Amino acid sequence: MNKNVALYNEMIAFFAGDARRCQHFIKVASLAKQLAESEAADAELTELVEAAGLVHDCGIKPGEAKYGAGHCTGKIQEQEGPAVARELLQKVGYAPEKIERICYLVCHHHTYNMIDGLDYQLLV
């Protein structure tokens, strides 16, 4: 099974019962993948950007558990997301160096003044 298909399934399970969150990460991942393809990114970068799009908001759930619904800001998502993303990415078989980059993107996806690569630009 494709790693991103497995990751997609993990995210559906992670946000089970929250259709709005599921629709959002599906939309972001799809758009990021389409943008990567339109920029003629190679398959490796396209896969990475799609994965980052899938997990970019996984910090919402632990953030809301800590701070309450409606109180999970973008910064809190950036703080809480990488640990969850790392676990999910490891579970589906991503290589450590890819996990690090995706977690970096999750940790900065609400920070727009530090864009340091095409993957970051495409996710934002």
pLDDT for res 71: 86
Hunting for tokens 């920070």 — which residue is that? Answer: 111
Asked whether residue 1 carries a pLDDT value surpassing 80, the answer given is no
Tell me what the mean pLDDT of segment 86-112 comes to. 97
**Between 76 and 20, whose confidence is greater?**
20
**Percentage of the chain modeled with pLDDT above 90:** 90
Domains and CATH numbers, the chain: 3-123 (1.10.3210.10)
Amino acid at 52: A
Token pair recorded at residue 83? 């640990």
Token pair recorded at residue 79? 């703080």
pLDDT for res 18: 93
Q: Could you read off the pLDDT of 45-72 as tens digits, one per residue?
A: 999 999 999 999 999 999 999 998 888 8
